[in-house]
């Protein structure tokens, strides 16, 4: 990275980006920009999200992860429930997943919320979930990737993570009486503000081989193209362009 770009980076990282009023209490989770400002913006203890009432899953879920937080020991609560901040008819219900053949896939992982009792419980709100294939995905490669993100936070000290659905060719399948959309893929964007670099993934929502995880590396630009979202918008344009265009040579 050039000295000029490093200078720009230092200015950006010292600045305090503007955060939408609805997410003010969640400023820490979207410090480098909310990917969209759609109506159903929800702030939780451990994450922020934008909920898509048409698909009844989140567009994005963002959270800040630190070395201290990944050492949390709060036990898993498993208190799955509909989100009381969303009106019936605009949200998924427990009945939608029952017998569907899909897991209630966390976007902000429960294990990552083990640093706080409230954060753990809120991770089981259905607004934080989307239908995921179970064996080989939610209970396979996806879980492994979530564990890697925690390991990276332990090593690097602080990360900002955004996760959500992608609707590619063949989208349109739904589950349950509320017609909860089944994404064709899921993305994960991880930003390291100290090293000023990002790693991103787009994974098909199906049984996958964990060993193939490097095959699903993508640029942040590609995730934006596939989702219509805008990541890292609080960075200056030159820095954002460099960070978002890069595809790491390996899985961090």
How far is Cα 125 from Cα 43, in angstroms, rounded to an integer?
12
Handedness of CA 137, 142, 144, 147 (dihedral sign): negative
- Closest of 241, 191, 239 to residue 2, by C-alpha: 239
Give Cα 132 distance to the centre of its chain. 14
Token pair 């259905």: residue:
126
The maximal CA–CA distance of the chain, rounded, in angstroms, is 57
Residues designated catalytic: 106
Token pair 């955060």: residue:
19
Token pair of 58 as six digits: 């989140």
DSSP string covering 165-184, please? Answer: EE--TT---EETTTTEE--S
How far is Cα 248 from Cα 252, in angstroms, rounded to an integer?
7
């Amino acid at each position: 990275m050039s000295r000029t770009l490093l200078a720009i980076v230092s200015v950006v990282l010292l600045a305090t980006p503007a955060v939408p009023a609805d997410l003010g209490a969640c400023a820490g989770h979207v410090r480098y920009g909310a990917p969209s400002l759609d109506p159903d913006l929800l702030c939780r203890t451990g994450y922020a999200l934008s909920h898509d009432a048409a698909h009844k899953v989140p567009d994005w879920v963002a959270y800040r992860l630190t070395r201290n937080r990944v050492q949390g020991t709060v036990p898993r609560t498993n208190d799955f429930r509909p989100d009381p901040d969303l009106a019936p008819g605009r949200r998924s219900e427990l009945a939608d997943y029952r017998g569907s053949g899909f897991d209630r896939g966390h976007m902000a992982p429960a294990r990552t919320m083990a640093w706080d009792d409230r954060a753990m419980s809120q991770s089981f709100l259905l607004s934080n979930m989307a239908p995921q294939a179970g064996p080989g995905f939610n209970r396979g490669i996806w879980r492994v990737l979530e564990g890697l993100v925690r390991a990276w936070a332990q090593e690097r000290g602080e990360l900002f993570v955004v996760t959500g659905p992608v609707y590619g060719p063949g989208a349109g399948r739904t589950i349950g009486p509320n017609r909860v959309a089944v994404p064709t893929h899921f993305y994960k964007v991880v930003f390291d503000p100290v090293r000023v670099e990002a790693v991103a993934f787009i994974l098909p929502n199906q049984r996958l081989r964990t060993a193939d995880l490097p095959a699903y590396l993508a640029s942040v630009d590609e995730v934006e193209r596939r989702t219509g979202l805008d990541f890292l918008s609080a960075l200056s344009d030159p820095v954002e362009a460099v960070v978002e265009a890069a595809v790491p040579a390996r899985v961090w």
